[in-house]
Structure 1
Amino acid sequence: MQQHDLETQNQAFLGHPKPLKSLFFTELWERFSYYGIRPLLILYMSAMVANGGLGLDRPTAAAIVGLFAGSMYLMTVLGGWVADNWLGQAKSVWYGSMIIALGHLSIALTNIIDHFFFYFGLVLIVIGSGLFKTCISVIVGTLYKEKDVRRDAGFSIFYMGINIGSFIAPLITGLLIKDNGWHLGFGIGGIGMLIALLIFRFSAIPSLRQFNTLRGQENTWNKPVVINTKAPKIVFGFLALVAALVALTAFGVITIHPVAVVTYLTMSICICIVVYFAYLLLFMHLNQQEKFQIIICFILLVAAALFWSAFEQKPTSFNLFANDFTQRHFFGFEIPTVWFQSINALFIIIFAPIAAWLWVKLGKKNKDPSYISKFIIALVLAASGFLVMAFASTLVAKGNGDLVSPLWIVTSLLLLTLGELCLSPVGLSTMTKLAPTVIRGQIMGLWFTASALGNLMAGLIGGHVSANEIDNLPTLFMRCVIALAIGAIVLWLLKAPIKRLMNKTESVSPQSNMETL
C-alpha cells in the first residue's frame, strides 16, 4: 500500500513528485513580487520629481537597478551558507519570505512617508532573497534521485512557474501606475510575497514531509548539513553592519556613488570567485571526482555570467529603448512600457513545456545534448538577439530618433528566451547534481553569483540608452554580440579537454554520475 502511495506521489504533478506543485506556486508568487517592482525601478528613479520620481540620471538609475539585482543574487552565497550551517533549507525560505514581504511594504511607503524607505526596502528584499532563492532550488533538487531523467524537465517546469509570475506582474503594475501612481504599483508585490509565504508554510512543507516519509528518506531540507555554532554570531554581525551602513547613509554621513560602487564590486566579485574556487579545490579535501565537478561548475558559472550580462539588460537598456524609441500607440491605446517586460515570461510559458518534453525525449534515447552544448547554444542565441537590437538601433540612429516597430524587441526577446531555456533551468539542475553534498548550498549560491555579475555588468551598460546617445546605440549592442560570440567559441574549444578529463575521472571513480559531454 505504501509503495502504491509512493508511486502516486511520484507522478502526481505533471508526471513529477507531488511537492513540486507547492514549490511551483511558492516560487510563482515570489517572482510575481519581484518582477512586479523590477521594471518600475529605472522608470521611477529616472522620472522627474514633478512626475513623482526621484529625478536621477539614467546611468545612475541603471547602476542602482544592477546593484539591487546583483546584490540580491550575491546574497545567495551567504544565504546558502546560512542554510548549510544553521537554519536548513526550509527555515531559510520561511524567514526569507517574511523579510522580502517587509521590503515590499517599505517601498510602498516611499511616496507616502520618505524616499529613505525606497532604498531601505531594496535592502530588505536583497537580504530576504539571499535566503529564499538558493534554498528553494535545492529543495526542488531533493525530489529527484541522482539518475532520474526527469530532473532537467522538473526544473524546466519549476522555471515555468517562475515565469508565470513574472508574466502577470508587469501587466498589473503597468496599469496600476498609469492610473494610481508609483506606490500602488510597488505595493502589489508585497501581496504576492505574502501569498508565497502562506503556500510554502501550509502546503509545501506538509507535502515534502509526506513524500519523504513514503520514500523512506530523511528530510535533509529541514535541517542544516552541519551545525556551526558560530553561524548565528556571524549572521547577526553582518546584519548589524548593514544596519550601520543604512543609518550612516540615511543621515548623510557617507555618500554612495552607484556607478563607482557597481564598477568596484564587479571587479571584487570576480577576484573573490576565483579565490573561493581555488579554496574549494585546494583545502576542502575533495576527492578527484568532486574536484572535477567543481571545475565544471566554475566553467559553467563564467559562461552564465556572460549570458546574464546581456540578458539582464531587459529592465535597463531594453526598457528604456521601449520607452523612448518604440511605437507603443495602437488604436488609441498606449501600451505601458513595462508590458514589454512580460514578453520574455510569455515565451517561457509557451516554450518551457516544449523544452521539458524535448530534454526527456532526447534523454530516453541517450541523445540529450550535454550541459556544455546547451550553454553554447544559449550564448549563440543571445548573440543573435542582440544582433537584432543592433539593427533596430541602427534604424533609430539613421532616423534621428524615429520610433521603430515593437517587433524588433519582440524578436530579440524570443531569441534571448530560447537561450535562457538552454541555460537557466539546465544550470540549476546541473549545480544541484554536481555540487558535493557538504557544500551544495554554497555551490548554489555561487551559481547565483553568476547572475549577480550579470546584473551588475548589465547595470553599467544599460543606462546609456537615451536621445542624447542615439549614435552610440548600434555600437552598444554590437559589443554585446561580439562578447557573446567569443564566449561561445571559447566554450566550444573547451569541450574536448573537459571530456578527456571526465573520462580520466570516471576511470578512477566508476560510480560517477556525470554525463558525457
Structure 2
Amino acid sequence: MSNLRSGTLLGHPKGLFLLFGTELWERFSYYAMRAILVLYLTDKTINGGLGWSTQDALNLYGIYTGLVYITPLIGGWIADNFLGQRRAIIIGGVLMALGQFTLALPNSMVDPHSVTAFYLGLGLLIIGNGMFKPNISTMVGDLYEEGDNRRDGAFTIFYMGINLGSLLAGIIAGAASAAYGWKAGFLTAGIGMVISLVTQMVFAERLLGNIGKEPAAKRAAAMNKSGKQEPLTKQERDRMKVIMIMGLFVVIFWAGFEQAGGLMNIFSQQYTDRMIGSFEVPAAWFQSLNPFFVITLAPIIASIWVKMGPKEPSSPIKFAMGLFFLALGFLCMIGAVMQQGGDLTVKTSMMWLVGAYFFHTLGELCLSPIGLSMVTKLAPLRLASLMMGAWFGFNAIANYVAGIIGSQVGEAGPMAIFSGIAIAATIAGVLLLLCSNQLIRWMHGAEGKVVEEEATDAKPVEA
C-alpha cells in the first residue's frame, strides 16, 4: 500500500471518504440518467421524448446497460498496464460528463440529428464508464494491507455512497424531468458528474497519496525479485476460479434485479396507482426506493454479520441468500399482477412495488458489496483492475439478458416473466448452497477459513 499522510476518520483512511464522495456523484449521474432513459424513449408527448415502442426502448436499455458493464474489462486492463487508476478515473469522468451534456441537447422526434446526438451521448457514457468504474473500486481495496479486517466494512461504507447518489438521482432527476422535461433530467446528471470530477481532482493528492498513480502491473513487477512476470500460482488460479464461478450466479441475480430500470419502471408508470391524495408520485421516484433501503438497512445487516462472529456466513452462502431474497421480491410483483386479474386498466397498489424493492435490496446487500470486497481479496495484484472489470462484465451479461427478458412482456406477459425470474433465482440459490464448500476451499483462507489441503493429497476438510 502506498504511503498515506492524511490519517484516519471513523477508523478508516480519509481517502476512503474521498472515494465515497467521488463515487456518490458519479452514481448520481448514472442513476439520474437511468431513471428516465426508458421513459424518455417511450414518451410521445410534448415533454420531448423520442416516441419509441416499449419493446424497442427496453431492447436499447438492455444493450446500453450491458455495454456499460462490459467496458470496465477493457478500462481495467488499460489502467493496470498503462495509465494507473487515478488517470483512468479522470479520463472516464470527463467522457461521461460530455455524454450527459450531449443527451441534454434539445431534440425533436422528427429530427434525425437528435437521434445521432442521442447515440453519441450514450457512446461517450459507455466508454467513460469503462475507464471509471473498475478503477475506483480497486482503489478502495488498495487503501488496506492484505489481511486488514476493515476491508469489508470499507466496501459497505463505499456502497452506501453509491446508493446515496442513486437515492438523490431518482428524486432530483424525476422532479426536474416532471417540471421542465426530460432534457432537464439529463442536465442534472451532467452536473453531478462534474461535481464528482472536481471532488477527485481537488482532494486526491492530499488524501490518497500515491495510491492509483502507478499501473498495477508495474507495481507487481517491482515486488518480484526477478523483475519478470511469473505465471499464476495454483492458489491464484483457484481463487480466480472462485471469481468466475460466483460471477455466473451474479448474472442470474442482476438479470432479475435490473428489471427495476426497465420492466418494473414501465409497470410503475402504466399499471400502478401512484396517487397520494391529489398528488401523483412521479414514476422515476420509485427508482429511489432501492438506495433508500440500502442506506437504512446496510448498517443493520453489517451489525448482524459482526454479532454472528464465527458463525457469519461465507460469501457463497450470502450470495445464495441474495438470490432467495430476489425471488421473494418477485413474489410481490406476482401479487401485483394478480391484483389486476387480467385487466390491464386496473391500477395496482404501490405497496407491491415497495415490497419488491425491499426484498431486492436485502438480496443486493447480501451480494453486491460482498462481491466487490471478495474480488479485491482474491485477485492477483497485477490483475486487480482487470478482474474487477471482469466482475462488472458479469453485470454486463446480466443487463443485456435483463433487457431481452423485459422486452418479451408484450408476448409473454408480466406474470410469466416475474414468476420465471422467481423460480430461476430459487434454483440458482439452491445450487450455490450445494457447491459452497468447494468454493471456500478454493479461496485458500481468504475469508478466514482454514482447510487442510496443501500438505497432503487427502480430500480437503474445513477445520
TM-score (norm 1): 0.80
**Alpha-carbon distance in structure 2 between the residues aligned to 1:445 and 1:501:** 21
Q: 1:432 maps to which residue?
A: 376
Moved more, 488-497 or 451-460: 488-497
Match of 1:16 in 2: 12
Taking the aligned partners of 1:164 and 1:110, their CA distance within structure 2 comes to: 29
> In 2, are the aligned partners of 1:176 and 1:184 still within 8 Å (CA)?
yes
Matched, 1:452 2:450: no
Instruction: Indicate the residue corresponding to 2:459 in structure 1.
Output: none
Q: Which one of the candidate residues 269, 291, 294 is aligned to 2:237?
A: 291
Describe the superposition over 1:342-377 as per-residue Cα deviations: whole angstroms up to 9, x where unpaired: 000100110112223333444xx3232111011000
Once residues 409 and 458 of structure 1 are traced to their aligned partners in structure 2, the CA distance between those partners, rounded to angstroms, is 18
Of residues 80, 83, 99 in structure 2, which corresponds to 1:103?
Answer: 99
Query: Quick one: distance in 2 between partners of 1:284 and 1:482?
Result: 44
CA drift at 1:179: 1.9
Picking from 388, 408, 412, the partner of 2:352 is 408
69, 78, 89: which is aligned to 1:93?
A: 89
Contact 2:86 2:213 in 1 (8 A): yes
**Match of 1:349, as an amino acid?**
I
- Residue of structure 2 equivalent to 1:70: 66
Q: Would you say the 8 A contact 1:58–1:464 is kept in 2? A: no
Tell which deviates more after alignment, 313-322 or 144-153: 144-153
Q: Is 1:316 aligned to 2:268, yes or no? A: no
CA gap of 1:20–1:499, structure 2 versus 1, over 3 A, is closer
Which whole-Å CA distance do the structure 1 matches of 2:198 and 2:441 have between them?
48
* 1:178 aligned partner, one-letter code: A
Measure, in 2, the Cα distance between the counterparts of 1:284 and 1:302: 28
Mapped contact 1:292–1:505 kept (Cα < 8 A):
no
> Do 2:143 and 2:211's aligned partners in 1 also have CA atoms closer than 8 Å?
no
How far does residue 497 in structure 1 lie from its aligned partner after superposition?
A: 3.1
Report Cα offsets for 1:118-160 as digits up to 9, x if no partner.
1111110110010111000000001122222221111011000
User: Does structure 2 retain, via aligned residues, the 8 Å contact 1:149–1:360?
Assistant: no
1:333 is matched with which residue: 264, 267, 279? 279
AA in 2 matched with 1:329: M
- For 1:88 and 1:301, how far apart are their aligned partners in 2? 25
Question: Which shows bigger deviation, 44-53 or 315-324?
Answer: 44-53
Corresponding residue number in structure 2 for 1:513: none
One of 415, 423, 427 as aligned partner of 1:482 = 423
Q: 2:127: which partner in 1? A: 127
Matched, 1:494 2:440: no
**One-letter code of the match for 1:336?**
P
Q: 1:359 to 1:151 in 2, by over 3 A?
A: farther
The residue aligned with 1:346 is: 292
* SS of match in other structure, 2:360: helix
CA spacing shift, 1:502–1:103, aligned 2, 3 Å: closer
SS in 1 for 2:52: coil
Hey, what does 1:303 align to over in structure 2? 249
Provide the rounded CA distance (Å) in 1 between the counterparts of 2:262 and 2:178: 19
The partner residue of 1:378 within 312, 318, 322 is 322
Q: By how many angstroms is 1:184 displaced?
A: 1.0
- Report the Cα offset of residue 110 of structure 1: 4.2
Contact 2:323-2:428 within 8 A present in 1 as well: yes
Say which SS state the counterpart of residue 98 (structure 1) adopts.
Answer: helix
The answer as to whether partners of 1:64 and 1:459 remain within 8 angstroms in 2 is: yes
Maintained 8 Å contact 2:35/2:173: no
Question: Which residue pairs with 2:199 in the alignment?
Answer: 199
Cα distance in 2 for residues equivalent to 1:301 and 1:284: 26
Structure 2 equivalent of residue 257 of structure 1: none
Q: 1:506 to 1:26 in 2, by over 3 A?
A: farther
Q: Alignment partner of 1:223: what SS? A: coil
Structure 1 residue corresponding to 2:32, chosen from 36, 51, 60 = 36
Counterpart code for 1:491: L
1:505 Cα deviation from its structure 2 partner: 7.5
Match of 1:238 in 2: none
SS of the residue 2:261 aligns to = helix
Is 1:81 aligned with 2:77?
A: yes
In 1, Cα distance between equivalents of 2:452 and 2:27: 39
- Taking the aligned partners of 1:126 and 1:28, their CA distance within structure 2 comes to 18
For residue 173 of structure 1, report the CA deviation from its aligned partner: 1.4
Tell me which of 473, 481, 490 is aligned to 2:414. 473
The answer for the alignment partner of 1:225 in structure 2 is: 216
Which amino acid in 2 is paired with 1:63? N
- Measured after TM superposition, the shift of residue 182 of structure 1 is 1.3
The answer to whether the 8 A contact 2:242-2:442 is kept is no
Confirm or deny: 8 A CA contact 2:76 2:386 kept in the other structure: yes
Using structure 2 for the length normalisation, give the TM-score.
Answer: 0.89
**Are the counterparts in 2 of residues 74 and 130 from structure 1 also a CA contact under 8 Å?**
yes
* 2:129 is equivalent to residue 156 of structure 1: no
Q: Cα gap change, 1:135/1:366 in structure 2, threshold over 3 Å: closer, same or farther?
A: same
| Distance verdict in 2 for CA 1:203–1:478, change over 3 Å | same
Deviations 1:470-513 (A, max 9, x none): x8221111110111111111111112333455679864289xxx
Cα distance, 1:226–1:149 mapped onto 2, change above 3 Å: closer
Q: Determine if contact 2:171/2:285 at 8 Å carries over to the other structure.
A: yes
Alpha-carbon distance, 1:51 to partner: 4.5
Distance in 1 between the 2:230 and 2:237 partners?
9
- Partners of 1:391 and 1:474 within 8 A in 2: no
Q: Tell me if structure 2 keeps the 8 A contact 1:289–1:506.
A: no
CA contact (8 A) 2:43 2:49 kept: yes
> What's the offset of the Cα at 1:223?
1.1
When residues 509 and 86 of structure 1 are mapped into structure 2, their CA distance, relative to the original with a 3 A threshold, is: farther
AA of the residue aligned to 1:390: I
Report Cα offsets for 1:277-305 as digits up to 9, x if no partner: xxxxxx98311111110111011111111
Q: Distance in 2 between matches of 1:103 and 1:477?
A: 33
Q: Which amino acid counterpart does residue 221 of structure 1 have in structure 2?
A: G
Listed as ranges, the gaps of 5+ residues in structure 1 are 210-218, 229-282, 511-515
Q: 1:109 to 1:502 in 2, by over 3 A?
A: closer
The CA distance in 2 between the partners of 1:476 and 1:90, in whole Å, is 42
Q: Would the alpha carbon gap of residues 499 and 296 (structure 1) be closer, same or farther in structure 2, given more than 3 Å must change? A: same
Once the 2 structures are TM-superposed, how far is the Cα of residue 15 of structure 1 from its aligned partner?
2.5
The structure in which a higher percent of residues are helix is 1
Specify the alignment match of 1:208 in structure 2. Answer: 208
The 8 Å contact of residues 382 and 415 in structure 1, kept in 2 or not, is answered as yes
**Partners of 1:396 and 1:402 within 8 A in 2:** yes
- Give the conservation status (yes or no) of the 8 Å contact 1:31–1:165: yes
* Structure 1 position 204, deviation (Å): 3.0
**Conserved in 1, the CA contact under 8 Å of 2:316 and 2:439?**
no
Letter in 2 for 1:478: S
1:415-451 CA-to-partner distances (Å, cap 9, x unmatched) read: 0000000100000000011001111111101100111
Between the two proteins, the alignment pairs up a number of residues equal to: 439
For structure 2, the 5+ residue unaligned runs are 220-228, 445-449, 457-461
Supply the AA of the counterpart residue of 1:428. L
